[in-house]
Amino acid sequence: MKLNYEKLGFKAGIEIHQELLTNSKLFCLCSPILKTDDPEFLVKRYFRPVLGEMGKYDEAMLVEYEKGRTIVYEGFNDVNCTYEIDETCM
């Protein structure tokens, strides 16, 4: 069976991740060094559903929120800043 992607309204995108040889990260001046020793601080994040651009909640986010799921990020004072943990106010 051959699918008619145009009729289905199928859209796809590609996201490419590539480590670049730079002196700083893309959105701040922190060093891009990847550390592996014990972290100096932890950031614990809770899933919190917010309305998307189309006025709807992300179904996957709602499921994770209902589970009470969290994510813990590890950080270092010399290579991580508020940009990286989404805490920078403009």
**Can you give the binding site for Zn ion, defined by CB under 5 A?**
28, 30, 81, 83
> C-beta of 69: minimal distance to Zn ion in Å?
26
Phi-psi region of 68 (alpha: psi -120 to 50; beta: other; left: phi over 0): left
Judged by CB, which is closer to Zn ion: 26, or 51?
Answer: 26
Instruction: Calculate Rg over the CA atoms of the chain.
Output: 19
**C-beta closer to Zn ion: residue 21 or 50:** 21
Cβ-based nearer residue to Zn ion, 28 or 63: 28
Q: How far apart are CA 61 and CA 87, in angstroms?
A: 20
